[in-house]
Chain A
Amino acid sequence: MREIIKMIVVLTVLSSFSGGLLAAIRGGTKDKIEYQQLVFVKGPAIRGILEGCSNDPIVDRFKIKDGEIERSFFVGVFDGKANTVAFEGIGKGFGGDMGLMVGVNIDDDKIVGMGVTTHSETPGIGSKAKTDPKFSNQFKGLAAIEPCKVKPDGGEIDAISGATVTSRGVCVGVTDATNIYKRLKPQVAEKIKEFK
């Protein structure tokens, strides 16, 4: 009996000590980990879109509640003015969901750039959406309040040859992002004033 009690006590104390230690370390590293994930997963796309900005868009970010989801917005400062935000929309590609980072200038509602963050498209074909600047540059200057479409669907985006589904998915994702933008613009305009 004594032995069993000792076992239970030792294991309990050990486990709770371990739980406490891990909770403390997790709390201490949480922000840093979130930052690192942004830098390495979304960072390249964000930096590509907000090229030439004078701040670090990954540090200057804010969140807005959109229904049940919290969306992150990354702020770009150009010529001393915080007037550009980058945020993510979701489009369905050939191999599943794709994350599309879209940058919008809030002064004239125009798209300043688009970049793919996460995707599982066919390497060498659909994956060109991420790697081929010719494709992503087409989105620059489009109005962020209108849906965007590929040419066969009556839009103005040249699809990547052999990857119509992917190209269409990117357009759907960008449209999704513009819808988010339309919905949240008042809050975005409010929040962005905090950044200079």
Chain B
Amino acid sequence: MAKTITQEFVKGLWDEIPPFRLVLGLCPTLAVTKSVENGLGMGVAVIFVLVCSNILVSLLRNIIPPKVRIACFIVIIATFVIVVELVMQAYAYPLFLTLGIFIPLIVVNCIVLGRAEAFAYKNGVVRSIVDGLGMGTGFTISLVAISALREVLGNGTFYGMSVFPPAFQPFTFMIEAPGAFVCLGLMLCMMNLAGNK
């Protein structure tokens, strides 16, 4: 069952891509994907937290007592989340304002805790880094895909740039919360169709 390093990375991009295959981390997936910029910002923040917490959990896996492992994971994850929050406030304040509460909420993001528990606690440092990178990238790609669809249809723009002629009437529903559910459902459906071939 041993996988190569490349396989560890690639599994996060398709076979176990977090929001679509594992259906984890849906709260930020639905909430922040109003625009590509937000989706990308959130994705990068999650990659950082995921890789750092995976490294630390993997390094400390022989020291952390099994009975309090979850508490230890949460302390590690929360630390990196606050690092992200502070750095984002200092260098990307507008992004911090739009992402708002969803940055602190990365602490309880199932993907981060899930990878610490299911992977980093049982594997070496290099594999954990690769796993974190793969899963984080997969999460970012999913966020960007959903937000691209929502932003293009709902606002007529992509990353703030207009993609339609001015006559285009934006399909505002896609920007609203229900549009997020519909969009995610359709994408899950397409993923399953593509996977069943």
Contact = CB atoms under 8 A, between A and B. Distances in A.
A11 B75 contact: yes
Contacts of B78: 18
A40 B90 contact: no
B76 A18 contact: yes
Chain A interface SS verdict (over half): helix
Q: Is the interface of B mostly helix, strand, loop or mixed?
A: helix
A41 to B, nearest CB: 9
A26 B86 contact: yes
Interface stretch (B30-38, B66-74, B141-149, B189-197): B66-74
B110 interface: no
A32 B75 contact: no
A26 B67 CA distance: 31
B79 interface: yes
B108 interface: no
Nearest to B91: A32
Interface residues of A, number: 19
A14 B75 contact: yes
A26 B85 CA distance: 10
Contacts of B6: none
A39 B92 CA distance: 12
Contacts of B60: 14
A6 interface: yes
Contact of A29 (B65, B67, B71, B86): B86
Interface in B40-94: 60, 63-65, 67-68, 71-72, 75-76, 78-79, 82-83, 86-87, 89-91, 93-94
Interface in A16-65: 18, 21-22, 25-26, 29, 32-33, 36-37, 39-40
B75 A21 contact: no
A40 B87 contact: no
B97 interface: yes
B150 to A, nearest CB: 24
Interface centre among B60, B79, B97 (most CB of A within 10 A): B79
Interface centre among B60, B72, B86 (most CB of A within 10 A): B86
A187 interface: no
Contacts of A21: 79, 83
Nearest to A35: B90
Given A10-B72, A22-B82, A25-B86, 16 more contacts: A3-B65, A7-B65, A10-B64, A14-B60, A15-B75, A18-B79, A21-B79, A22-B79, A25-B87, A29-B86, A32-B90, A33-B86, A36-B90, A37-B89, A40-B93, A40-B94
Interface of A: 3, 6-7, 10-11, 14-15, 18, 21-22, 25-26, 29, 32-33, 36-37, 39-40
21 contacts: A3-B65, A10-B65, A11-B68, A11-B71, A11-B72, A14-B60, A14-B76, A18-B76, A22-B83, A22-B86, A25-B82, A25-B87, A26-B86, A29-B89, A29-B90, A32-B90, A33-B93, A36-B90, A37-B89, A39-B93, A40-B94
